[in-house]
Structure 1
Amino acid sequence: MTANRGRWPKIDQDSGVEDAVLLILEWLSEQGMGAMIRVDAERLQDQKPAWTFTAGGGPLIRPMRADGATAHECLSLALVYLREAGVDVPY
Structure 2
Amino acid sequence: MVDVVRVMEALAEQGVTVLFKADAERMRDGVRPWTFVANGAPFHDDLLVRTDAASVEACLKICLPQLRDRGLVIPE
TM-score range for the pair, normalised by the shorter chain length: 0.7 to 0.9
Partner of 1:37 in structure 2? 20
* 1:3 aligned partner: none
In the superposition, relative to structure 1, how do residues 42 and 53 fare at CA in structure 2: closer, same or farther (>3 Å)?
same
Identity %: 36
Find the residue that maps to 1:22 and give its secondary structure.
helix
- Residue aligning to 1:26: 9
Q: Which residue of 1 aligns with 2:72?
A: 87
Decide which moves more: 23-32 or 74-83.
74-83
TM-score for both structures, normalised by structure 2: 0.81
Q: Which runs of 4+ in 1 moved over 3 A?
A: none
CA deviations on 1:40-82 (whole Å, 9 max, x unpaired) are 0111222210111101113462311022101111122121221
1:59–1:89 Cα change, 3 Å: farther
In 2 relative to 1, CA 49–60 (structure 1 residues): closer, same or farther, beyond 3 Å? farther
TM-score by length of 1: 0.69
Letter in structure 2 aligned against 1:41: A
Distance across 2 between alignment mates of 1:38 and 1:77 = 15
Structure 1's unaligned 5+ residue stretches are 1-15
- 1:78 matched to 2:63: yes
Q: Which moved more, 1:33-42 or 1:77-86?
A: 77-86
CA RMSD of aligned residues (A): 1.6
Equivalent in the alignment of 2:32? 49
